[in-house]
């Protein structure tokens, strides 16, 4: 009874904190200024100065328009093109000798050599413009401000994606800048059907988030659903696309991701062409792709950049190693502790010989080795480059040789752990590999307590879970469950391109046909001339 009341109390506590959170959120929203700009130049300047109080990086540059009218240029140092401001704004506007053109706003809007001039009349828009690097020009006698498109800041050059390498295919990766990322999409898909909708999320970060899709391929209701889910997000800041992923996912309590991430424009574009939507987030090279199926996670762009036989072969290899990464240590443990008769005699004898001096039961040995391996891998990702080789040497020695020689670990176990480690790197999507790496541990426990029966139970549980998952309404195991024979061509093998005449069906009945189905080898005579 005590346990139950404890749970009830915890529940009450949770509810209380929820109420508090909603209070905090409403406070944040109130702080957003919603006033219009005033006709009084001085008042506007004062308001902006008070908004940017104690912001030493915000510059207020006051000058005289053509030597007469008082004017103020407001921008943030480092976000705006200072040379451009000097050359295209200040120098033509500060010429005292020339006559002041009339009307002044017409001149600024149409005759200034600046790429983009937008009239703004709300205080909030002014702040938005300044924060995103576009200087605001205010002058006496005008109730509107002018946002000048002169934003320019330092950004990383386009580089090869770090987490998704490949031998053949594009070497470009997304970067942290949203404009550059959308431009990369646009450079690949030039059709105006590529739509990019933007919104801002995060009360403090005001992060730009764009939804890209191809009009006519993506289901309209799907885009609406994504937009509404994105609009529901109330958060103080977005620092990585994962924040959004968790907020809009169908089932966040699953180890399997229902939204795919990629840092490759070509992967994003291939998904766009299949009618999926891509969510780009400012500040991270990782874009989100939804909806996906489980099999999207084990397809790599490399499959399509190679001959279809090679692609198929690699895909099958990946299927095998996906199973191994999940099951190999648990199978080894189960057979060594429960099913000794299931291995060939010679193998049993040699593994018996190697385990003779090992002081631990197989399950303990396997768990310890796997955890050590995971720790080593994590350390390898995190540690500074200078000490990288030291750790890998120590790791290899400790895990590999020394522990075997000391008789703490058997050699076959090292082999099993090593194969499992390699297998989990076979997954082209890092995040899917992690899911299997995590599930390996409960599987090992099941194997150590119930043997093959436990493994069977674990597999059944995982399959049931996978069947129950959905990604934006699309069953996670399509096209296997529900079975769609046509789409198996891109799951069980990688069909040659001239066979890929239909798109995978996600939600809705968007354009099904990708290309003409008569492009196989030996085209019919006459079809070419027509």
Partner 1 sequence: MKSVLLLLGISGTTPFLSGCWDRTEITDLAIVTAAAIDKKDNNQIELSIQVFIPSSISGGGGGQGGGSSQGGGAVTTLVRYENGSNISDALSKLQSKLPRKVFWGHCKIFVFGEKLAKEGIQEQLDFLLRHPQPREKANVYVSKGKAKPILESLPPLENYSGEVLRELSDLHIGMLVTMQDLDEMLTGIPQAAALPFVKILPPGKGQTKLQGIPYIVGTAVFKKDKMTGMMTEKETRGLLWLRDEVESYTVTIKPKGVKGKISLSPVSAKVKIIPQIINGKWKLLVRVNTDGSVIQNGTNLNLSNPKSLKAAERAYQKDIEKRIEMAFLNTQHKKADILGLGKDFYRKYPKQFNKIENQWNEVFSELEVEVDVAAHIRRQGYINKPAGLSEEEVKDK
| 47 token code pair | 């308001």
Give min distance, CB of 34 to partner 1, in A.
Answer: 39
Q: Under a CB-based contact definition with an 8 Å cutoff, are residues 279 and 230 in contact?
A: yes
| 398 token code pair | 């400790």
Q: Which stretch binds partner 1 (CB under 8 A): 162-170, 180-188, 351-359, 485-493?
A: 351-359
Name residues whose C-beta falls within 8 Å of residue 98's C-beta, 6 or more positions apart in sequence: 66
Q: Under a CB-based contact definition with an 8 Å cutoff, are residues 72 and 45 in contact?
A: yes
Position 356 contacts partner 1 (CB under 8 A): yes
Q: Under a CB-based contact definition with an 8 Å cutoff, are residues 209 and 201 in contact?
A: yes
Burial 424-450 (b: 16+ CB within 10 A, else e): bebbbbebbbebbbebbbebbbbbbee
Q: Is 122 helix (H, G, I), strand (E, B) or coil?
A: strand
Binders of partner 1: how many residues, by CB under 8 A?
Answer: 34
Give min distance, CB of 355 to partner 1, in A.
Answer: 5
Q: Given candidates 133, 361, 395, 400, which one binds partner 1 under the rule CB under 8 A? A: 361
Position 481 contacts partner 1 (CB under 8 A): no
Q: Which of residues 297-336 bind partner 1 (CB under 8 A)?
A: 336
Helix, strand and coil in the chain, % to nearest 5: 50, 15, 35
Give min distance, CB of 274 to partner 1, in A.
Answer: 35
Beta partners for 38? none
Q: Under a CB-based contact definition with an 8 Å cutoff, are residues 399 and 369 in contact?
A: yes
Which residue number, 131 or 354, has a Cβ lying nearer to partner 1?
354
Crossing angle (nearest 10°) for helices 345-355 and 411-425: 110
Position 255 contacts partner 1 (CB under 8 A): no
Position 154 contacts partner 1 (CB under 8 A): no
CB count within 10 Å of CB 284 equals 23
| 105 token code pair | 């706003």
Phi, psi of 215 (to 5 degrees): -65, 130
Which residue number, 269 or 446, has a Cβ lying nearer to partner 1?
446
Q: Given candidates 354, 502, 507, 519, which one binds partner 1 under the rule CB under 8 A? A: 354
Give min distance, CB of 472 to partner 1, in A.
Answer: 23
Which strand (E) or helix (H) includes residue 195? strand 194-201
Q: Which of 401, 393, 440, 408 is nearest to 421 (CA)?
A: 440
The contact mask relative to partner 1 for 109-128 (x = CB under 8 A, - = no) is --------------------
Position 337 contacts partner 1 (CB under 8 A): yes
Q: Which stretch binds partner 1 (CB under 8 A): 65-73, 303-311, 324-332, 405-413?
A: 405-413
Which residue number, 287 or 351, has a Cβ lying nearer to partner 1?
351
Which residue number, 405 or 527, has a Cβ lying nearer to partner 1?
405
Give min distance, CB of 451 to partner 1, in A.
Answer: 8
Rounded Cα–Cα distance for residues 460 and 462 (Å): 5
| 330 token code pair | 């648990």
Q: Under a CB-based contact definition with an 8 Å cutoff, are residues 332 and 351 in contact?
A: no
Give min distance, CB of 12 to partner 1, in A.
Answer: 11
Position 411 contacts partner 1 (CB under 8 A): yes
Give min distance, CB of 251 to partner 1, in A.
Answer: 13
Which residue number, 10 or 387, has a Cβ lying nearer to partner 1?
10
Position 345 contacts partner 1 (CB under 8 A): yes
Q: Given candidates 156, 187, 307, 340, which one binds partner 1 under the rule CB under 8 A? A: 340
Q: Given candidates 348, 376, 418, 459, which one binds partner 1 under the rule CB under 8 A? A: 348
User: Where in 273-348 does DSSP place strands (E)?
Assistant: 277-281, 287-290
CA angle 294, 297, 301 (to 5 degrees): 140
Give min distance, CB of 436 to partner 1, in A.
Answer: 20
Give min distance, CB of 280 to partner 1, in A.
Answer: 34
Give min distance, CB of 20 to partner 1, in A.
Answer: 19
The contact mask relative to partner 1 for 219-238 (x = CB under 8 A, - = no) is --------------------
Q: Given candidates 129, 296, 299, 410, which one binds partner 1 under the rule CB under 8 A? A: 410
Report DSSP state, residue 148.
E
Position 357 contacts partner 1 (CB under 8 A): yes
Q: Which of residues 420-479 bind partner 1 (CB under 8 A)?
A: 445-446, 448-451, 454
Position 417 contacts partner 1 (CB under 8 A): no
Rounded Cα–Cα distance for residues 371 and 366 (Å): 8
Position 351 contacts partner 1 (CB under 8 A): yes
Q: Which stretch binds partner 1 (CB under 8 A): 240-248, 255-263, 278-286, 409-417?
A: 409-417
| 444 token code pair | 């090992």
CA dihedral 74, 78, 83, 84 (to 10 degrees): -60
Give min distance, CB of 414 to partner 1, in A.
Answer: 8
Give min distance, CB of 460 to partner 1, in A.
Answer: 14
Position 163 contacts partner 1 (CB under 8 A): no
Q: Which stretch binds partner 1 (CB under 8 A): 258-266, 269-277, 382-390, 406-414?
A: 406-414
DSSP one-letter string for 51-77: HTTT-TTEEEEEEEETTTEEEEEEEET
Which residue number, 336 or 462, has a Cβ lying nearer to partner 1?
336
CA angle 393, 395, 397 (to 5 degrees): 70
Phi, psi of 261 (to 5 degrees): -115, 150
Rounded Cα–Cα distance for residues 255 and 248 (Å): 15
Name the site residues for partner 1 (rule: CB under 8 A). Answer: 7, 11, 336-338, 340-341, 345, 348-358, 361-362, 404-405, 407, 410-412, 445-446, 448-451, 454
């Amino acid at each position: 009874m005590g346990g139950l009341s404890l749970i009830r109390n915890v529940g009450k506590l949770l509810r209380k904190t929820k109420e508090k959170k909603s209070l905090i959120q409403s406070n944040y929203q109130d702080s957003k200024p919603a006033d219009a700009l005033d006709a009084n130049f001085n008042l506007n300047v004062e308001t902006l100065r008070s908004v940017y109080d104690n912001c030493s990086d915000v510059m207020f540059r006051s000058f005289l328009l053509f030597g007469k009218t008082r004017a103020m240029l407001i921008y943030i140092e480092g976000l705006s093109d200072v040379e451009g401001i000097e050359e295209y704004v200040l120098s033509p506007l500060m010429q005292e000798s020339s006559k002041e053109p009339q009307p002044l706003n017409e001149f600024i809007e149409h005759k200034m050599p600046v790429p983009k001039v937008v009239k703004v009349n709300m205080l909030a828009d002014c702040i938005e413009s300044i924060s995103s690097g576009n200087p605001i020009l205010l002058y006496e006698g005008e109730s509107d401000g002018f946002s000048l498109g002169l934003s320019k800041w330092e950004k990383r050059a386009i580089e090869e994606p770090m987490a998704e390498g490949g031998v053949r295919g594009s070497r470009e990766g997304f970067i942290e800048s949203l404009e550059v990322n959308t431009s990369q999409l646009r450079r690949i898909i030039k059709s105006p059907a590529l739509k990019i909708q933007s919104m801002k999320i995060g009360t403090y970060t005001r992060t730009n988030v764009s939804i890209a899709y191809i009009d006519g391929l993506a289901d309209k209701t799907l885009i609406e659903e994504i937009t509404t889910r994105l609009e529901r997000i109330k958060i103080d800041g977005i620092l990585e696309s994962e924040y959004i992923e968790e907020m809009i996912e169908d089932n966040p309590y699953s180890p399997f991701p229902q939204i795919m991430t990629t840092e490759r424009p070509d992967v994003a574009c291939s998904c766009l062409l299949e009618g999926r939507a891509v969510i780009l987030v400012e500040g991270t090279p990782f874009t989100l792709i939804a909806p996906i199926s489980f099999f999207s996670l084990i397809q790599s762009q490399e499959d399509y950049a190679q001959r279809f036989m090679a692609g198929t072969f690699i895909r099958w290899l990946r299927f095998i190693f996906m199973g191994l990464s999940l099951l190999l240590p648990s199978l080894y443990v189960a057979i060594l502790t429960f099913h000794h008769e299931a291995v060939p005699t010679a193998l049993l004898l040699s593994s018996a010989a190697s385990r003779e001096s090992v002081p631990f039961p197989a399950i303990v040995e396997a768990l310890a080795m796997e955890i050590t391996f995971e720790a080593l891998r994590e350390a390898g990702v995190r540690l500074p480059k200078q000490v990288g080789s030291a750790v890998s040497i120590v790791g290899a020695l400790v895990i590999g040789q020394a522990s075997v020689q000391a008789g703490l670990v058997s050699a076959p176990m090292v082999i099993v752990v090593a194969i499992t480690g390699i297998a989990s790197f076979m997954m082209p999507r890092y995040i899917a590999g992690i899911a299997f790496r995590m599930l390996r541990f409960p599987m090992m426990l099941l194997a150590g307590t119930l043997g093959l029966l436990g493994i069977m139970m674990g597999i059944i549980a995982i399959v049931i879970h996978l069947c129950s998952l959905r990604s934006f309404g699309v069953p996670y195991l399509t096209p296997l469950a529900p079975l769609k024979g046509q789409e198996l061509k891109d799951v069980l093998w990688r069909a040659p391109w001239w066979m890929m005449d239909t798109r995978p069906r996600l939600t809705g009945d968007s354009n099904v046909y990708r290309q003409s189905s008569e492009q196989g080898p030996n085209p019919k005579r006459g079809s070419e001339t027509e």
